[in-house]
Amino acid sequence: MLTKPKKKQVSTIGLGLIGGSLAMALKDVGFKSVIGISASNKTEQTAKDRGIIDQVASSVAKAVKDSDLVFICTPIAAIESVFRQIAPRLKEGCIVTDVASTKEGVVKLAEKILPTTVSFIGGHPMAGKEKSGIEHAEKELFKDCTWCLVPTSLTSNESLVQLKEILVLLAAKPIILDAATHDKAVASISHLPFLLSAILVNTVSSQPYWDTAAKLAASGFKDVSRLAGGNVRMHTEICQTNRVNILAILDEFLRVADELKQILKSNDQRQLSDCIEKAKRERDKLYSLAENS
């Protein structure tokens, strides 16, 4: 168990946007020893040179062997291999967590591969940006962000409390939910918005008048297309690992889009204005709630 969290050793496996930002944030709140490892020497060297981590480990197994807390911040596809490498080397009582954007698959793998002598809690910070890599890492990335925590059959109550306390130190807002609920919720609030952004760009950029339209692109197009400029590998992995939930919400989206299309076809001004008004009401409610919380 982590008794005095800041005095303990933390490992960050993967030092990109999320792992690099996390290492910075942990050091910023006073963690004494942050060990990191990434896929490339270049990223590891940058992390060391910029003081983002204290030490580079020579292997994933060595990165975790004396650590009390391990954050896995790699692409989703690398997590199974990381679990297999760390499983025999984890210290008894160690807390292991991850940051992957989808949770059901990761939780199943953890329960299958990790030893029962450690506590695994699935994690997902609802923070990020369109740029990836350590060069875009920043220590404030998790400030005020909701951080999903997904308890598993390997989670002890004490470790959950400790991890929550650590996230609060980083100014994040931990929220506890199960993997299935998480994946369904992010399909609609995160993955659908990304797909709509990509569909928008692909639709309008393939029109014969795109050159002219592009010259007229102002803040509205920039806002709605922002997500389409994100990390290709990450979004591909997200669509693959949350395919079923994404397909369900895409069907719903197509139904609502078709309703709007029928309203436009019938040229019913009242229905059109009701539809636009409903969306405005829901959005205003969401953001005024967020601002007042």
Question: Under the rule (CB under 6 A), what is the footprint of ligand NAP?
Answer: 13-19, 37-40, 43, 73-76, 78, 82, 99-101, 124-125, 128, 132-133, 231, 234
Closest-CA residue to 53 (of 64, 71, 37, 29): 37
- Closest distance between ligand NAP and the C-beta of residue 36, in Å? 9
Smaller CB separation from ligand NAP, 91 or 226: 226
Nearer to ligand NAP, 2 or 22 (CB): 22
Contacts of 129 (CB under 8 A, 6+ apart): 17, 136, 141
Cα distance between residue 183 and residue 14, in whole Å: 22
Give the residue from 134, 120, 131 showing the smallest Cα distance to 19.
134
CB of 226 to ligand NAP, least distance (A): 12
CA–CA distance, 48 with 159 (Å, rounded to integer): 29
H-type alpha helices, the chain: 17-28, 41-49, 60-64, 79-86, 104-113, 157-169, 179-186, 192-205, 210-216, 219-225, 232-241, 243-266, 269-292
CB of 46 to ligand NAP, least distance (A): 9
In the complex with ligand NAP, the residue whose CB is nearer, 38 or 159, is: 38
Token digits for 94?
């160690």
Whole-number minimum distance, CB 251 to ligand NAP, in Å?
24
Q: For residues 232 and 290, which CB has a smaller minimum distance to ligand NAP in the complex? A: 232
Taking the least distance from each CB to ligand NAP, the nearer of 27 and 263 is: 27
Q: Residue 196 CB, nearest distance to ligand NAP (Å)?
A: 17
- Closest approach, Cβ 118 to ligand NAP, in A, equals 19
Give least dist CB 188 to ligand NAP, A: 16
Q: Are the C-beta atoms of residues 17 and 137 closer than 8 Å to each other?
A: yes
Residue with token string 């951080």: 147
In the complex with ligand NAP, which residue's Cβ is closer, 126 or 169? 126
Contact 30/190 with Cβ under 8 angstroms? no
Q: Which is nearer to ligand NAP, 19 or 174 (CB)?
A: 19
Q: What are phi and psi of 37, to 5 degrees?
A: -150, 145
